[in-house]
Structure 1
Amino acid sequence: MTIPTYILKDHGFGKLSKTESNPRARQRLLILYQYSIGKATNDIAKDLYIHPETARRTKKSYLQRGLDSIYDRPHRGRHSKLAESDIDAFKAMIVSEQEKRAGGRLTGQDIQQIAKEHYNAHYTVNGIYEMLKRIGMSWISARSQHPKADEEVQETFKKTL
C-alpha cells in the first residue's frame, strides 16, 4: 500500500478560499496558500494571527490526506436519528405535505409525526426544529391563508376601501 502524498502546488488555494463558505476550511485554505507561495511557518502565523503549530498541523494534514483535510472529520457523539441517505426524501416529504394542505402550515408536531411514521426517527419537538436547522430548512413561513378565503372578494374590498 502506498501512502499518497500531495504537493502544495496541486490546487489554487487562494481562489478556493474566496469561494469557501465554511470559515474553518477557508482559514486552512489560506494557510495552505501561504505555504504554496513559499512563506515560512512563523510568518504565516503572524499574518493570520494563529499559533505556528496550527499552521504546521494544517500543512501536515494536507500532505497526508489532500484537499479533504481542510474539512473537519465527524466527531464522536450521538448521530442523527434520521439517516443521511433519507434527508433528501424527508425534505421532499415535508414540502409535499405542506403543499397538500388547503390552509395553515405544518407544525413541529406534524413533522415529528412524519419522522416517526415514515423513518422510525423519534424526535422531540425541539429536536425536530434543531434537525430542520441542521439540514438547511428554514421554518419561517409566509402568513398562512384560510382555506375558505376568497381572493376575488379580498381584491374588490381593497379597491373599494
Structure 2
Amino acid sequence: MSVAELEHLAKKEKRSRIKVRYLAICHFLEGKSRTEIARYLRVARGSVNKWVTLYLTDGIDSLKDTPNPGRPSRLTPQQLESVAAFVKERSSSTYGGRLQAKDVGEFIHTQFGVEYEGRNVYRLLHQLGFSWITSRSKHPKQNEEAQRLFKNLPHGNDP
C-alpha cells in the first residue's frame, strides 16, 4: 500500500485511534524513525513499534480494533436465567415488589456460591434486560377523590 493510499484512508477514518495508527504507518513508509513518529504523534514508542510490526506481518487490516468482550460472566446462562426468574417472581409477588441489589446478591450467593458487589449486581441485571426505575408506592389509606378535590382548590389569590 502506498503512502498516498494510507493518507487517504487516514482522512476517511472517523475513529481517531485508527487514524493515528494509519498516520504512524505513513510516516514509517516515508522513512522516519519510530522514535520520531512517536514524538510527532505524541504516543508511546512501544505503540508505534507494535503498529509497525502488525502492519508488516499482517497488513493494514491488522491495525483496526479487535472486539474486546471483557471478562466472562461467573454465572452460566442457566444460572442467569434462574436469576431473571427470581427477579420476575419477586417483583410481582403479593408481598411487594421492592427488590434491592443486596437481595439479588444474596440469592446469587446462596444459590450458586458466587459473590457480587452491589454495583455489579445492577450491571448484571441491566444485561438481563431489567431496569431499576421504580414506581412510587401508594399508601393503603390514600383517597384519590380527596386528592382530586384538593388539586382543584384555588391557589393563593386566585379567584
- Normalising by structure 2, we get a TM-score of 0.50
Q: Which has the higher contact order (CA 8 A, sep 6+)?
A: 1
